[in-house]
Homo-oligomer: A and B are copies of this chain.
Amino acid sequence: MSIQDVARAAGVSVATVSRAFNQPEQVAPDTRRHIEQTAQTLGYLPNASARTLRTQRSRVLGVVLPTLVNPVFAECLQGMAEAAAQAGYALMPLTTHYELEREEQAVSRLLAANVDGLVLVVSNPSQSSALQRLRARALPYVLAYHQHPDHPCVGVDGEQAVADLVARLVALGHHRITMVSGQRHASDRAEQRCRGYQRGMADAGLSAAPVLEVPFMAQALQDIVACLRQNPAPSALICSNDLLALRCLRAAHLAGRSVPAQLSVVGFDGIALGEDLTPMLSTITQPNAEMGQRSIALLVQALQHGLPPTPGASLTLAHGFRLGESCARPALSAT
């Protein structure tokens, strides 16, 4: 079922059929309707590979994400899918599990697949050789969830967000605030958020506790419980992501501390699910779906303009704070 078949069936040349689809105004109305009719009944669909080969544009965008198991990225991908469909692009998502090697592989595969551009969420833009390859090939790309002077990014100011949060907690009466983070060196986002904690504590005139770094999720629960059993124990935990916050809620339960009366827990990410939890998760919210949409939009816009997105086009989206129910004024005994 090719353009040939349609041309034959409609009694015109392939060129006319091609034009009927791509430059309808150049075809006589009667001819056009006839061709459309014929194509319709034959169930003709233009072959994307041939079109790509000819035009050097695939209308496919590559997406590189750490994982889909974290709802943050699933929500983001959903937003990308929306925006891409809107703009007539398809998506080809690959996951890396935070492994640099898989970032490389992903980019290779996507390059070979002739994607017109990519949106990436990487571990660390400064060290990513995958990004270097994209630049070398002058392939348009946008980083999501990042902020970096050398790359076009769509992100939020995670440092400011956490610093603000610290101020908010201090205003509530918290003094002993601990930051809980995944591997800091594995992600510049985690690092950025930790910096926000340190700055926020310093601004409040408090001494920052060492960041509780929980490298492996499997181990996280025990580490947090241990932290909560210290004396003095923290009255509030700031988590570098929402999944970690869930673990903290559980750890509080195991350690016999009620939330929020005896312990405040605040996450980071704003996954939609958090709103349905009991207690509703207090968290710094990022607009995850919008992050995806805007990343795609930035990329698509650049593709239409003909020049790749520049670092100057980077966007910082507004973050928010969901008060939720896992965060409150500390009990007097804990103050």
Contacts and interface: CB of A to CB of B under 8 A. Distances in A.
A266 B75 CA distance: 25
Interface stretch (A9-17, A65-73, A174-182): A65-73
How extensive is the interface on chain A, given as a class? 35 or more
Interface in A87-116: 90-95, 108-109, 111-114
B114 A47 contact: yes
Chain A residues touching B, majority SS? helix
A293 to B, nearest CB: 14
- Please state the number of chain copies in the assembly: 2
A81 B68 contact: yes
A247 interface: yes
B47 A112 contact: yes
Nearest to A69: B78
A109 B92 contact: no
A276 B69 contact: no
A91 B136 CA distance: 26
A303 interface: no
A94 B53 CA distance: 23
Given A45-B112, A49-B58, A91-B93, 5 more contacts: A49-B52, A60-B92, A81-B93, A90-B109, A250-B278
